[in-house]
Amino acid sequence: MDMRGLSVFISEIRKSTTKEAEQKRVDKELAKIRTKFKTSANLKGYDRKKYVSKLLYIYMLGYDIDFGHIEAVNLLSADKYSEKHTGYLACTLLLNEGHELLTLITNSIKRDLASRDPNDQCLGLTAIANIGGKEQAEALADDVQKLLLSGDTKLLVRKKAALTLLRLYRKYPEILPPDAWASRVIALLNGKDLGVITSVMSLILGMVEKDPKSYVEAVQKAIRLLVKLVLNREYSNNYLYYGIPAPWLQCKLLQLLQYYSVPTDEGLMSHITQVINRIITGAERSKQNDKNKGVSKTNAAHSVFFEALNVAIHYDLDKTVLITATQILGKYLSERDTNLRYLSLDTMSRMAYSQHNEVIVNIRKNQDTILLALKDPDISIRRRALDLLYSMCNKVNAGQIVGELLSYLPLSDYAIREELVLKVAILAEKFAVDLSWYVDVILNLVSTAGDYVSDDIWHRVVQIVTNRDEDLQSYTSQTVFIAMSSVAAHENTIKLGSYILGEFGYLISNKEQFVPALQLDLLMSKFDMVSVPTKCMMLSAYMKFYNLYIQDSFVTDSVKEIFSQHRTFIDAELQQRANEYYKMIESGNTKLLGTLLEAMPHFPERQSSVMKRIQDRDAERKRMRAHGGEGADEEEEEEPAAFIAPSQLLQQNIQLATQAPQTKTASLFDFLDDGVGTTALPNDEEDLGYNASSGDLSDFIGGGASSNYNAAPIGNNNIGGGDMLDEIFGGVPAGIGNNSSFNYQQDYGYQQPPQQSFTTNLASDAANLAAQRKQQMGGASIEDLMMATSLNEQAEQNAAVHQDAQNKLRQLLVSRDGVAIEDENLQVKFKSEFHGNKGRLNIFYGNKSNQTITQFRADVSQHPLLDVTMSNVTPLIAAKAQSSQYVNVVCKGAFSDAITLVLHFEFNRKFFRFNVKLPIAVHKFIEPLPLNSADAFFAQWNAIPKDTPQESVRIFKQSEQYLNVDNTKALLRDGFNIAVLENIDPSPLNVVAAGVFFGDNNNRTNVLLRIQVNAQKQVFRLTVRSQDEVLTQQVQQYVQQYLEGA
Partner 1 sequence: MTVQFTLLISRQGKVRLSKWYAAYNQTERARSIREITNMVIGRPSKLCNFLDWKDQRVVYKRYASLYFIVVVDKTDNELITMEIIHHFVEVLDRFFGNVCELDLIFNFHKAYFILDEVLLNGEVQETSKKAILRVIQAQNTLQDNTHEHQFVT
Binding residues: 4-5, 36, 46, 50-54
809 binds partner 1 (CB under 8 A): no
Q: Do 962 and 968 contact (CB within 8 A), yes or no?
A: yes
Q: Which of 106, 145, 164, 214 is in the footprint of partner 1 by CB under 8 A? A: 164
97 binds partner 1 (CB under 8 A): yes
Question: 88 or 603, CB closer to partner 1?
Answer: 88
238 binds partner 1 (CB under 8 A): yes
| Positions 719 through 758 that interact with partner 1 (CB under 8 A) | none
Q: Which of 55, 246, 439, 597 is in the footprint of partner 1 by CB under 8 A? A: 246
Question: 381 or 500, CB closer to partner 1?
Answer: 381
Q: Do 590 and 548 contact (CB within 8 A), yes or no?
A: no
DSSP structure string for 72-128:
HHHHTT-SSHHHHHHHHHHHHHHPPTT-TTHHHHHHHHHHHHH-S-HHHHHHHHHHH
Q: Which of 24, 44, 80, 184 is in the footprint of partner 1 by CB under 8 A? A: 80
10 Å CB burial of residue 850 (0-12, 13-18, 19+) is exposed
- From the CB of 425, what's the least distance to partner 1, in Å? 21
- From the CB of 358, what's the least distance to partner 1, in Å? 27
Q: Which of 33, 105, 163, 921 is in the footprint of partner 1 by CB under 8 A? A: 163
Q: Do 500 and 597 contact (CB within 8 A), yes or no?
A: no
Q: Do 944 and 1027 contact (CB within 8 A), yes or no?
A: yes
User: Which among 495, 457, 490, 496 is positioned nearest to 476, based on CA atoms?
Assistant: 496
1025 binds partner 1 (CB under 8 A): no
Question: 125 or 543, CB closer to partner 1?
Answer: 125
339 binds partner 1 (CB under 8 A): yes
- From the CB of 97, what's the least distance to partner 1, in Å? 5
State the Cα–Cα distance between residues 726 and 730, nearest whole angstrom. 5
State the Cα–Cα distance between residues 849 and 909, nearest whole angstrom. 14
554 binds partner 1 (CB under 8 A): no
Q: Do 315 and 336 contact (CB within 8 A), yes or no?
A: no
The residue count for binding partner 1 (CB under 8 A) is: 80
Q: Which of 378, 434, 557, 586 is in the footprint of partner 1 by CB under 8 A? A: 378
| Positions 7 through 46 that interact with partner 1 (CB under 8 A) | 7, 10, 14, 46
248 binds partner 1 (CB under 8 A): yes
SS3 214: helix
63 binds partner 1 (CB under 8 A): no
Contacts by 377-384, CB closer than 8 A, 24 or more apart: 378/338, 378/342, 379/413, 379/415, 379/416, 380/342, 381/338, 381/341, 381/342, 381/345, 382/412, 382/413, 382/416, 383/416, 384/342, 384/345, 384/346, 384/349
252 binds partner 1 (CB under 8 A): yes
369 binds partner 1 (CB under 8 A): no
CA distances to 67, 89, 96, 440 from 30, rounded to whole Å, are: 9, 19, 21, 66
- From the CB of 258, what's the least distance to partner 1, in Å? 9
Q: Which of 58, 205, 597, 649 is in the footprint of partner 1 by CB under 8 A? A: 205
State the Cα–Cα distance between residues 539 and 561, nearest whole angstrom. 12
Stretch that binds partner 1, among 81-89, 711-719, 774-782, 854-862 (CB under 8 A): 81-89
Stretch that binds partner 1, among 248-256, 503-511, 540-548, 685-693 (CB under 8 A): 248-256
Q: Which of 117, 616, 634, 687 is in the footprint of partner 1 by CB under 8 A? A: 117
State the Cα–Cα distance between residues 63 and 55, nearest whole angstrom. 9
Q: Which of 68, 87, 124, 247 is in the footprint of partner 1 by CB under 8 A? A: 247
- From the CB of 232, what's the least distance to partner 1, in Å? 19
Stretch that binds partner 1, among 243-251, 354-362, 403-411, 649-657 (CB under 8 A): 243-251
Dihedral of alpha carbons 226, 231, 235, 238, sign: positive
48 binds partner 1 (CB under 8 A): no
Q: Where are the alpha helices (DSSP H) in 434-469?
A: 435-449, 455-467
| Positions 971 through 1010 that interact with partner 1 (CB under 8 A) | none
Q: Which of 35, 96, 752, 961 is in the footprint of partner 1 by CB under 8 A? A: 96
- From the CB of 326, what's the least distance to partner 1, in Å? 19
Question: 121 or 509, CB closer to partner 1?
Answer: 121
User: Which among 187, 188, 182, 180 is positioned nearest to 207, based on CA atoms?
Assistant: 182
Positions of E strands within 900-961: 900-907, 910-917, 926-928, 951-957
User: Which among 329, 240, 243, 253 is positioned nearest to 284, based on CA atoms?
Assistant: 329
- From the CB of 242, what's the least distance to partner 1, in Å? 8
SS3 1007: strand
| Positions 263 through 282 that interact with partner 1 (CB under 8 A) | none
Q: Which of 17, 266, 288, 377 is in the footprint of partner 1 by CB under 8 A? A: 377
Q: Which of 30, 56, 614, 996 is in the footprint of partner 1 by CB under 8 A? A: 56
444 binds partner 1 (CB under 8 A): no
Q: Which of 23, 27, 31, 98 is in the footprint of partner 1 by CB under 8 A? A: 98
85 binds partner 1 (CB under 8 A): yes
- From the CB of 476, what's the least distance to partner 1, in Å? 36
- From the CB of 370, what's the least distance to partner 1, in Å? 16
134 binds partner 1 (CB under 8 A): no
Dihedral of alpha carbons 782, 786, 788, 789, sign: positive
307 binds partner 1 (CB under 8 A): yes
| Positions 468 through 507 that interact with partner 1 (CB under 8 A) | none
65 binds partner 1 (CB under 8 A): no
Contact string 165-184 vs partner 1 (x = CB under 8 A): -xx-----------------
Q: Do 275 and 231 contact (CB within 8 A), yes or no?
A: yes
Q: Which of 338, 647, 815, 964 is in the footprint of partner 1 by CB under 8 A? A: 338
Q: Do 825 and 847 contact (CB within 8 A), yes or no?
A: yes
Q: Do 424 and 447 contact (CB within 8 A), yes or no?
A: no
State the Cα–Cα distance between residues 635 and 618, nearest whole angstrom. 10
Question: 7 or 531, CB closer to partner 1?
Answer: 7
Q: Which of 145, 153, 214, 299 is in the footprint of partner 1 by CB under 8 A? A: 299
State the Cα–Cα distance between residues 970 and 259, nearest whole angstrom. 42
Stretch that binds partner 1, among 300-308, 515-523, 769-777, 863-871 (CB under 8 A): 300-308
- The DSSP H or E segment spanning 1004 is strand 1004-1014
Question: 202 or 463, CB closer to partner 1?
Answer: 202
Stretch that binds partner 1, among 73-81, 752-760, 983-991, 1005-1013 (CB under 8 A): 73-81
- From the CB of 180, what's the least distance to partner 1, in Å? 24
HEC-encoded secondary structure of 797-847: HHHHHHHHHHHHHHHHHCCCEEEEEECCCEEEEEEEEEECCEEEEEEEEEE
Contact string 594-633 vs partner 1 (x = CB under 8 A): --------------------------xxxx-x--------
251 binds partner 1 (CB under 8 A): yes
Torsion of CA 1040, 1042, 1045, 1046, to 10 degrees: 70
State the Cα–Cα distance between residues 286 and 270, nearest whole angstrom. 24
Q: Do 997 and 892 contact (CB within 8 A), yes or no?
A: no
67 binds partner 1 (CB under 8 A): no
82 binds partner 1 (CB under 8 A): yes
